[in-house]
């Protein structure tokens, strides 16, 4: 006999094969058990909000609305004061920060989740 050969009774071998098959079936059954999470719908909504980036887009839209109306208000002033021009420069200057936050957050959630 070679060292890779084993002497075994055929009935014992068939019993072992059947036992292995039963164990594999049991593993498949255990893997198929659905884990009913009561918060799964909330998780799906949170993933949709995260992937669609609803809040950053809403905040940017509100900023654009605010920017438009403040600039129109400023241009309608006959003689703007120093404080009024300071307000407009702050509103216009914050646009760079808003856009930087909007453009820079595309991969932050993926890095947090460990997907990249």
Summarised one tens digit per residue, pLDDT across range 26-67 is 888 877 666 677 888 898 898 888 888 888 889 889 999 999
Distance CA 96, CA 105 (A): 14
For the segment 82-113, what is each residue's pLDDT rounded down to a tens digit?
999 999 999 999 988 888 887 776 655 555 56
Contacts of 49 (CB under 8 A, 6+ apart): 55
Distance CA 108, CA 46 (A): 15
pTM metric for this prediction: 0.55
Distance CA 105, CA 111 (A): 10
114: left (phi over 0), alpha (psi -120 to 50) or beta: left
- Mean local confidence (pLDDT), 74-79: 95
Q: How far apart are CA 92 and CA 101, in angstroms?
A: 15
Rounded Cα–Cα distance for residues 24 and 29 (Å): 9
- What are 1-23's pLDDT values in tens digits? 677 777 878 888 899 999 999 99
Cα distance between residue 19 and residue 67, in whole Å:
72
Confidence (pLDDT) at 111: 59
């Amino acid at each position: 006999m070679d060292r890779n050969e084993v002497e075994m009774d055929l009935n014992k071998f068939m019993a072992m094969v059947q036992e292995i098959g039963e164990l594999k079936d049991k593993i498949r059954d255990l893997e198929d058990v659905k884990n009913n999470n009561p918060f799964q719908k909330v998780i799906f909504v949170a993933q949709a909000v995260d992937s669609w980036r609803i809040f950053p887009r809403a905040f940017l839209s509100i900023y654009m609305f605010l920017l438009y109306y403040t600039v129109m208000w400023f241009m309608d002033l006959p003689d703007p004061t120093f404080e009024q021009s300071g307000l407009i420069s702050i509103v216009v200057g914050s646009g760079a920060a808003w856009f930087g936050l909007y453009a820079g957050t595309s991969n932050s959630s993926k890095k947090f989740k460990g997907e990249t």
